[in-house]
Amino acid sequence: MKTPNEFLLASGSPRRLKLLTDAGWRFSVQPPNVEEIETGLPPAELVYENASRKAKAVSAKQPKALVLGSDTTVAIDEEILNKPTSMPEAKEMLRHLSGRAHEVHTAVKILYTEGSVDLDLSISNRVQFKKLDEAVINEYLDQVYTLDKAGGYAIQEKGELIIESYEEPLSSIIGLPIELVTEKLISLGFDKTFRS
């Protein structure tokens, strides 16, 4: 297989950028111009569709590049909790999650069009919230900006205030199952070109 000319992350997420960087990958960020869907599909299918849209949009313009798209959402009883649009909505999401378990669904699409690589990865993690009172909710939201995060929280930021327990790997809850992604990319030999 011919070597891709570059490795592109089809996402503007600073959390995915950090996970890939910390794992030693060399890549460029190219956020796709796509409309993500927020309703109408079961959560696991919704993240798969969005990850695919992101990767395909970038790969269509850069067929010689290795492209990675990813999407994450939070679901409780199959109800999808996307990114809150306001602080009151973020508070309502935390109240809704308080004392309950929910699922975090993440999907990844890896494309290298010219090399005929088309891989789908998906993972779901169960997360249990502590019982939260209004004081804790306010304290958490005072310290963590959550309007760009599915479910209105970030497990990696002050998670000890709100999280009782969670299923590994933590990286997929943050937004990219980096251990699984790295394993797949190494199996295809891309580490020889794009990893320090």
Can 71 be counted among the known catalytic residues?
A: yes
Q: Label each residue of the chain as H, E or C.
A: CCCCCCEEECCCCHHHHHHHHHCCECCEECCCCCCCCCCCCCHHHHHHHHHHHHHHHHHHHCCCCEEEEEEEEEEECCEEECCCCCHHHHHHHHHHHCCCEEEEEEEEEEEEHHHCEEEEEEEEEEEEECCCCHHHHHHHHHHCCCCCCHHHCCCCCCHHHCEEEECCCHHHHHCCCHHHHHHHHHHCCCHHHHEC
Catalytic member of 71, 77, 118, 142: 71
Check: CB of residue 116 under 8 Å from CB of residue 2. Answer: no
Provide the annotated active-site residues: 71
